[in-house]
């Protein structure tokens, strides 16, 4: 009986240590890229990305993303379009200054990983699942992801018109270990 209790205590201690083992903290490095494209000549980048990234390939339950994009950092390559995109008709940067993503769960897939979390755009929060890859180079790494969102799901712009509902996002985030 004593051996069983000791074995269970050892197993529980091991499981608890693994469950609460911290992931690796990564700092967002320069030269990240958050690019968006739609139909026609709609496209550009967001120039400001901030947040925390904790990611460990061997401990996905301890991994998480908490990211924010500054809406006012949008750059379409056209000053008039930038002003229009920041206006109340589109992103309403004055009222909703950030696009936020907070992860809930990260899983391994055949091609890389998937992160499920809350994406908040224009005051609308929706759960999304986004694919990404992770290229680890020791003390530095790169996260890459390409996915499509429906802008109308987040009440960005008026439905229909010249701008497609589907907006493709390409994200490349180099990171360094903290």
Domain ranges of the chain: 22-177
Q: What are the tens digits of pLDDT across the range 49-94?
A: 999 999 999 999 999 999 999 999 999 999 999 999 999 999 999 9
Q: How far is CA 146 from CA 61, 90, 138, 150, in A?
A: 23, 22, 24, 14
How would residue 16 be classed by pLDDT, with cut points 50, 70 and 90?
very low
List the structure tokens of 64: 């998480």
- Answer positive or negative: Cα dihedral of 23, 27, 33, 39: positive
Tell me the backbone φ, ψ of residue 63, rounded to 5 degrees.
Answer: -90, 145
pTM listed for this prediction: 0.85
| pLDDT score of 15 | 41
Is the alpha carbon torsion for 70, 109, 166, 45 positive or negative? positive
Q: What's the CATH architecture for 22-177?
A: Beta Barrel (2.40)
């Amino acid at each position: 009986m004593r051996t069983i209790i000791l074995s269970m205590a050892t197993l529980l201690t091991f499981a608890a240590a693994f469950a609460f083992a911290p992931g690796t903290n990564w700092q967002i490095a320069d030269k990240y890229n958050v690019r968006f494209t739609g139909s026609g000549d709609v496209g550009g980048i967001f120039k400001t990305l901030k947040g925390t990234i904790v990611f460990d390939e061997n401990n996905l339950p301890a991994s998480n993303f908490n990211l924010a994009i500054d809406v006012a950092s949008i750059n379409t390559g056209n000053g008039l379009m930038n002003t229009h995109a920041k206006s109340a008709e589109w992103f309403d940067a004055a009222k909703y200054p950030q696009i936020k993503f907070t992860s809930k769960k990260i899983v391994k897939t055949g091609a890389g990983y998937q992160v499920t979390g809350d994406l908040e755009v224009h005051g609308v929060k929706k759960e999304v699942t986004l694919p990404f890859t992770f290229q680890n180079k020791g003390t530095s790494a790169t996260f890459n992801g390409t996915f499509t969102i429906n802008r109308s799901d987040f009440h960005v712009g008026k439905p229909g018109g010249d701008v497609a509902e589907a907006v493709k996002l390409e994200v490349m985030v180099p990171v360094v270990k903290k």
